[in-house]
A and B are shown apart, each in its own frame.
Chain A
């Protein structure tokens, strides 16, 4: 029999410091940090030298200077006499507007197509598949150009506008629809809406409490709908219908009055929505497929009808799978909105670029970009994480 004689007579010699993982790790990190500091110092030194040579003053004082350029879409008060800071704020709001509009449309479209890809109907499945495979494999910038140059730019001139229902027009200068002009007392409508939402919340709470104790159900949805629609209507009537519509009128060369959505916004909005919807559709499909079949079978065994099972069993579980990747799609859409610069929609990036050309403050502008985009990303992911935590599986 082989017997191993292990002698512990003497302690093994202390290993060389060279082979101690702790020492190695500290040494490696110190070297890395030193290299990094040297690199940063070199860059900063060069940058200061370069800026000194080209006579560019650093700092954010330039934000108070007069902008001197006009912006086509201004959601907040702005003129060419406003400051650079104000111009950046306009760009920020334009980015937010197109991102929010795109997210809402892309989500709705994406859910419809995603569910369509799982439909029992062969034709619907194939149509949804063709949509997804087309848009997923084309660059978003190309989609934007297609809408802008290929579709909207070749629409007829304002003189021969395409007439649409409800007094709206479509021509090469964009989409025109009646502007709502609110008169005195319009605040009553908002007040009505707030009261309606508050009452609905209250009713929903009471109804749930009652169902928990007595098992009796209360038609919360219809009551809520009546409250939320009814109260603003009541406010509208009480204030004496304070609404006039400003219809766009055809002039000699252009349409006057009404509300004009510019082709730049339209193409960016449509392209981002269509492009992102393809990705959201795949996420929705994966989410629904990710709920195990036993869940729907169990729901059927409990006697739930397909619609109820979908609403109470499948969707809540699918949402858990859907939300995290959906968040990153929302962030992607927001970041892709910077492609606006290619067609001249004045978003944050486009306005920042204009300011850079005027002042030469490259570093400050890039820092502003980074801060704003990073904070939009952080706020979005914070909100979605909160929503995700609410939706997450409550385990014991």
Chain B
């Protein structure tokens, strides 16, 4: 019967039906993501209450009730404390940060010489930015400039004492300058040192292997504070009498050694992930040890562990704050030192200063972690299934 009706065949696709109303639109999203079950609904309401409360507190404190300008503590005091603000006021005292901003950046670096720090910063950014943008050309030249030439320029600009620049001793350094110098040197030193230690740990030579293991495990087993403590109290004992080390240099050595032990473990993870065939392939091509490692193994291994490497960098960036324990003034140290300033002693000063420091640290660390995620996606050439 039906056969006769088969003469008509539809030649174009039927238009897609719109999604059912229960599956489309805002209402469905809300129902699925916020009110899926009764428990979910209760949690959503509680979460909403909490988020509203927290947001209003934070925004109120940091923006709406904040005091932005002022020359001393009276700007941030309430009536009962001797100021002009209504009793019970609670808000950020950004005036404090405003007044101390230059100190937070440069420490006690002589005011007339601060252009040198700013110039160093500009060169740093100018070299770093094209290095980070994958499409920028001249990568090799750029890397050489950044890792090999820039340290000398920075040394000349920041410390000086020759070629027409006056000498600025490191105890005068402080603030973000110290934080960034410590992290930069830590990063530049710890990566190659970590790679060497990781290779040493996997070496077939027992003496090399044992020394690497002892170094890595000892450093990883003790807190950074202890390492800094050693660097600051014991290094002077280790060198001949009369020879002195700059305190800043001692802290640098401590931070760099500490970071390289952690870096070594990260790199070792990458080395272990490379299949044996790659090593054997390199051997059968007749490559020597350093050629094999440099051309075949390391490029693959380092690519695999980029997240770990960046995590170590972030950890080191955060750890530079510990130098305040051996009484050096990095960003956190200088903020803390300024909290004791009687001119700015208000109940809100500590909170404001620390929140400012937290924001600066957060921006740097968050930036690093996002960039590492970006690179990870870019370099992902099919290792993951």
Q: Which residues of A approach B to under 8 Å, CB–CB?
A: 25, 28-29, 32-33, 36, 43, 46-47, 49-51, 53, 119-124, 127, 133-134, 136-142, 145-146, 149-151, 153-154, 335-336, 338-339, 341-342, 349, 353, 356, 362-363, 366, 369-370, 373-374, 377-378
Contact = CB atoms under 8 A, between A and B. Distances in A.
Contacts of B64: none
B229 interface: yes
The 9 closest A-B pairs by CB, nearest first: A137-B365, A335-B223, A149-B350, A122-B33, A139-B318, A150-B351, A29-B207, A338-B223, A139-B321
A145 B354 contact: yes
A32 B211 contact: yes
Contacts of A51: 237
Contact of A127 (B51, B218, B221, B336): B51
A373 B34 contact: no
Q: Identify whether the interface residues of B are mostly helix, strand, loop, or mixed.
A: helix
Interface string B340-369: 000000010011001101100110011001
Contacts of A142: 321, 332, 354, 357-358, 361
Given A121-B34, A138-B361, A141-B321, A29 B205 contact: yes
Contact of A121 (B40, B206, B321, B350): B40
Given A50-B241, A149-B354, A366-B234, A29 B208 contact: yes
Most buried by A among B208, B223, B314: B223
B71 to A, nearest CB: 23
B47 interface: yes
Interface in B194-225: 204-208, 211, 218, 221-225
A295 to B, nearest CB: 17
Given A342-B325, A374-B222, A50 B369 contact: no
Interface of B: 32-34, 36, 40, 43-44, 47-48, 50-51, 204-208, 211, 218, 221-226, 229-230, 233-234, 236-241, 314, 318-319, 321-322, 324-325, 332, 336, 339, 347, 350-351, 354-355, 357-358, 361-362, 365-366, 369
B93 to A, nearest CB: 12
Nearest to A33: B207
A121 B324 contact: no
Most buried by B among A36, A119, A150, A339: A150
A154 B211 contact: no
A122 B34 contact: yes
Given A335-B223, A336-B223, A120 B241 contact: no
B351 A341 contact: no
A372 to B, nearest CB: 9
